[in-house]
Amino acid sequence: MAGHLPRGAMLVVARLTRSWRPRYARSPMQISNFPVLQMHKSQTAMRASQKDFESAVNQMKLLTKDPGNEMKLKLYALYKQATEGPCNMPKPGMLDLISKAKWDAWSALGSLPKETAKQNYVELVSSLSSSASSSQGKPDADSKQPGYETLVVTSENGITKIMLNRPTKKNAITTQMYQEIMLALEAAAKDDSAITVLTGNGDYYCSGNDLNNFTDIPPGGVEEKAKNSAILLRDFVGCFIDFPKPLIAVVNGPAVGISVTLLGLFDIVYASDRATFHTPFSHLGQSPEGCSSYMFPKIMGSAKAAEMLIFGKKLTAREACAQGLVTEVFPDSTFQKEVWTRLKAYSKLPPNAMRISKQLIRNVEKEKLHAINSEESSVLQGRWLSDECTNAIMNFLSRKAKL
Ligand SMILES: CCCCCC/C=C/C(=O)SCCNC(=O)CCNC(=O)[C@H](O)C(C)(C)COP(=O)(O)OP(=O)(O)OC[C@H]1O[C@@H](n2cnc3c(N)ncnc32)[C@H](O)[C@@H]1OP(=O)(O)O
């Protein structure tokens, strides 16, 4: 919670709990009696109907364990979005902290369609039931994997899903999140799943590097910070280069910066027609990473790659598909249903055959990709120390500039 809400909101949002009295003192938890809450996440995504939504809403009323303030805000926001659409309330005053926290959570969902909000709500309630039944010691094959604060990682039906989970910050990637994604990929490489999926929670896929990462300066000063960041970047991208199984990006909304460049290292990229693809490196005084300086010209030709990587041209999903960066675009209203139906079918293909085919394709240029990754990281290390970059980040952090 600390990283996700303003401090003031964090302090007072605890007061939300007063009107959310846990019922565990009164009756035992009965979540396991509600089949909709035992559905797997992808199943709920595929099937979320009005009935599922209403069941999930009813189930929340019976929840006996307090899910925590952050979760309550997420559920509140999704409920409002699902029933009323985008936030239509006037922004509450600064001193009305509870209403402000709720307003922030709702408005962070932007123009997320009602249907998607409904599905996400059902999924979230389902994930609560998974962790509730695990904590009761019941076997739970599709439970949310523990140990991640910035991600929701689930494994079921042969699919490991890694979901970026900072929706109120548009899933901007913090230093902790880089580390957790690496851990999740490392675990997914070894687990029983056939395919691995990366996606985002909320209205964004990912807004790229969290620009606040640059404000945490170690005792060695900015030079040490730049050096450590370059090492982190190289290791992070290295995990994508080496990932041994089919890796699929489910781009649920706009994507910025490193979340776009990395797409060149995925095997499939499915995008909602609401998604956009933006790499504003020059605007930020930075330079491309994620092996995009090699992969983008290879995928889309050097002129189109230059337009994106040098001039920061933002592509729509359809443009990105025409350029070969995206595999297929789906209408946002049916995106989750269509994509997960497709992925579920792919996950049933023989896993070893898929793994071997992927490695044949990747091994041809794995060494080259590692060399490019090292070079891009080293160039960025220098960029991070430049005035152009420092000024751009200061502008964003002082809210003078937005993309
Ligand atoms: C180890 C280091 C490796 C570095 C690798 C190199 C990587 C490079 C890149 O990824 S470059 C791209 C960096 N990203 C950006 O420049 C995006 C900055 N964000 C924006 O321009 C906008 O926030 C937006 C267009 C993504 C969304 O605009 P809008 O819809 O108006 O929402 P808000 O701006 O109000 O955003 C909501 C909330 O999220 C915070 N936020 C969004 N993106 C970032 C970000 N990248 N870093 C930090 N914070 C971000 C934003 O500040 C708001 O927070 P608040 O509610 O004000 O607390």
pLDDT per residue over 210-230, tens digit each?
A: 999 999 899 999 999 999 999
Atom 17 of ligand 1, nearest CA residue: 207
Q: What is the 3-state secondary structure (H, E, C) of 363-397?
A: HCCHHHHHHHHHHHHHHHHHHCCCHHHHHHHHHHH
Say how many Å lie between the CA of residue 378 and the centre of ligand 1. Answer: 23
Q: Is 207 in the pocket of ligand 1 (CB under 6 A)?
A: yes
Encode the chain (403 residues) as per-residue pLDDT tens digits: 333 433 323 222 233 333 332 322 223 223 222 222 223 333 444 556 888 888 888 878 766 667 777 788 889 999 999 999 999 999 888 777 788 888 989 999 999 999 999 988 888 887 776 555 444 333 344 558 899 999 999 999 999 999 999 999 999 999 999 999 999 999 999 999 999 999 999 999 999 999 999 998 999 999 999 999 999 999 999 999 999 999 999 999 999 999 999 999 999 999 999 999 999 999 999 999 999 999 999 999 999 999 999 999 999 999 999 999 999 999 999 999 999 999 999 999 999 999 999 999 999 999 999 999 999 999 999 999 999 999 999 998 887 666 6
User: Class of 50-129 per CATH?
Assistant: mainly alpha
Q: What is the 3-state secondary structure (H, E, C) of the chain?
A: CCCCCCHHHHHHHHHHHHHCCCCCCCCCCCHHHCHHHHCCHHHHHHHCCHHHHHHHHHHHHHCCCCCCHHHHHHHHHHHHHHHHCCCCCCCCCCCCHHHHHHHHHHHCCCCCCHHHHHHHHHHHHHHHHHHHHHHCCCCCCCCECCCCCCEEEEEECCEEEEEECCHHHCCCECHHHHHHHHHHHHHHHHCCCCEEEEEECCCCCECCECHHHHHCCCCCHHHHHHHHHHHHHHHHHHHHHHCCCCEEEEECCCEECHHHHHHHHCCEEEEECCCEEECCCCCCCCCCCCCHHHHHHHHHCHHHHHHHHCCCCCEEHHHHHHCCCCCEEECHHHHHHHHHHHHHHHCCCCHHHHHHHHHHHHHCCHHHHHHHHHHHHHHHHHHCCCHHHHHHHHHHHCCCCCC
pTM score over 0.95: no
Looking up tokens 């109120």, which residue turns up?
168
Say how many Å lie between the CA of residue 206 and the centre of ligand 1. Answer: 9
Q: Is 210 in the pocket of ligand 1 (CB under 6 A)?
A: yes
The residue to mutate among 170, 171, 282, having the most atoms of ligand 1 within 8 angstroms of its beta carbon, is 170
pLDDT at 62: 67
Say how many Å lie between the CA of residue 208 and the centre of ligand 1. Answer: 7
pLDDT at 46: 52
From 108, 113, 266, 94, select the one nearest 172 (Cα to Cα): 108
Say how many Å lie between the CA of residue 100 and the centre of ligand 1. Answer: 20
Q: Is 100 in the pocket of ligand 1 (CB under 6 A)?
A: no
Other C-beta atoms within 10 Å of 312: how many? 15
Say how many Å lie between the CA of residue 146 and the centre of ligand 1. Answer: 27
Q: Show me where the domains of the chain are located.
A: 50-129, 151-402
pLDDT at 11: 26
Say how many Å lie between the CA of residue 381 and the centre of ligand 1. Answer: 20
Atom 12 of ligand 1, nearest CA residue: 257
Mean confidence (pLDDT) of the chain? 85
State whether CATH 2.60.120.10 applies to domain 151-402: no
